[in-house]
Amino acid sequence: MIKEPGDVLELALQNDELDRFLAGEPFYFLETKDDHDDPQNVIVAFDVLFMPQFKARNTPLPQMFVQALLKLIANYPDRNRALYMAVDWVWCYRYLLQKKQMQPDGPYASLPIIDLSAVANDLKSSLEEQKEHLMRDLRWAGALWNSRLGLWEPLMRTALHVRDKLGGPDFVPKNG
């Protein structure tokens, strides 16, 4: 059976498993043609799956997105994967929101304003708690070619970029 991308998101929404989609968990992994090693191709997923929903004014999706991120951070069994992916989704959203602000009638005109403050609070405390584990995790952007401190270093770079260049939210840990 070949999965259509929209079917994958619809199934995740119907089954209350959007958190598993955000984590890029198999069956919910979005197949794309690139060399990214990440668990989910967040930018493609946002463009191909979320933006059509926002254009159609799927009003519950922004709140479902926030709740799924909170669920991912709190309950996903692989804590490092959960944090890595949650940070990536927050970065992607803020990056696209900045594009919308620069080009209000452009391709991201229908991107809603989503309050991610609760997600930022949970991310900040979870990153603080997981620091030692993240520093030893050499998966994805934490690979030796990209980081001296495992996943911790790229996550801190992203957290600072979101706060300082993309207008927040601030989830930079105190022990960063």
For the segment 67-77, what is each residue's pLDDT rounded down to a tens digit? 999 999 999 99
113-136 per-position pLDDT tens digit: 999 999 999 999 999 999 999 999
Mention the CATH class of domain 5-164. Answer: mainly alpha
Q: Quick one: which of 142, 144, 87, 140 has its CA closest to 116?
A: 87
| pLDDT > 90: percent of the chain | 80
pLDDT at 10: 87
Q: 60 preceded by cis ω (within 30°)?
A: no
Which residues does 40 contact at the CB level (< 8 Å), separation at least 6?
A: 21, 22, 23, 24, 28, 29, 30, 85, 88
Question: Taking the mean position of all CA atoms in its chain, how far away is CA 113?
Answer: 16
What number of other Cβ atoms are within 10 A of residue 25's Cβ? Answer: 19
Average model confidence (pLDDT) across the chain: 92
| pLDDT bucket at 40, cuts 50 / 70 / 90 | confident
pLDDT at 1: 43
Average pLDDT (30-34) is 60
For residue 35, pLDDT beyond 80 = no
Task: Output the CA torsion 56→58→59→61 (10° steps).
Answer: -130
Burial class (CB in 10 A: 0-12, 13-18, 19+), 129: middle
Q: What pTM does this model have? A: 0.94
For residue 88, pLDDT beyond 50 = yes
